[in-house]
Amino acid sequence: MTSRPELRHQYDIISSFQPALHVPQNWNYETPDPLFRAYMHPPHDVGGQRDVPVHYEEKEEEQWELNTYVTCEVLGWRGIWTAEERRRRADNDLGYTLYLGVPYYGRWIWSAARMLVDKKHISLTELLEKIAEVKSRYEKK
Amino acid sequence: MKKNKTLKTSDTPARFKVGDRVQVRDMPNIFYSRTQNYVRGVTGTIAACTYKDLIPEDEAFDHDGRREQYYIVRFRQKDLWEEYPFDNDTLQTEFPDHWLEPVRN
């Protein structure tokens, strides 16, 4: 159960994702370049952008990452999606906050779950109930 | 792809009545919900039984799920926000049946 201080902390993290200034936008027919083009830019197209040096770490995949990879591949073999759809969902549709905020395979599993709901293989309610059930099973252990 | 174009909804029976104490379930926040984060896990009182309708999480994805009873639940503001200054103030919001759990008085 989320305590009130935990809830406050959660809302503080969410605030840190948001731009400090929320300026209401009023756009007319004349395309408001370069703002519009910047917002439409796909997050995975990072070439040419300024960045700090990337810290390189030699590291094995976590078990959940391997499971995610296999799950996504099997969904491909079964014809549920293609690698290109997975890339479109995981690299493009997520938006910058999730793209930059979750681990690489977090983007994969997010997009696999979203795809299964979008295509009606599972309902969102079924997914949420299953997650809640598994979570409570682990909490009892 | 399964397309449920014919409306095959099943109604689940209402579990609560006005005056019942209920706790909002702490379900994961993934993809879509109309259940506010700040009421999850908090206990309130059924203020009204409103209508039966589809569940937002399913209807939002064009999935013809079951229809559930909706309720207006009344919370004490102090139960939602510890620092809230007035004892008697309340907040009301609405939930479908499966978001609520019975609380023994």
* Coil, strand or helix at B90: strand
Q: Cα–chain-centroid distance for residue B10?
A: 18
Question: Over chain B (105 residues), what is each successive 10-residue block's mean pLDDT?
Answer: 50 92 94 95 97 94 90 97 95 97 87
Structure tokens, A48: 């040419």
B5 part of contact set with chain A, CB < 8 Å = no
pLDDT at B8: 52
Q: For testing the chain B interface, which of A125, A129, A131, A134 should be mutated: the one with the most B CBs within 10 Å?
A: A125
Rounded to 5°, the CA angle B19-B24-B26 comes to 170
pLDDT at A48: 92
Q: How many helices (H) and strands (E) does chain B have?
A: 2, 5
pLDDT at B80: 96
**Residues of A with CB below 8 A from B10's CB?**
none
Nearest CA to B8 out of B71, B58, B51 is that of B58
A72-119 residue pLDDT tens: 999 999 999 999 999 999 999 999 999 999 999 999 999 999 999 999
CB–CB contact B63 A114 (8 Å): no
Tokens 């639940």, located at residue: B73
Rounded to 5°, the CA angle B23-B28-B29 comes to 105
User: What fold, for A62-141?
Assistant: Cyclin A; domain 1 (1.10.472)
A123 part of contact set with chain B, CB < 8 Å = yes
pLDDT at B6: 44
Domains and CATH numbers, chain B: 22-102 (2.30.30.50)
A22-48 residue pLDDT tens: 778 788 877 667 888 888 899 999 999
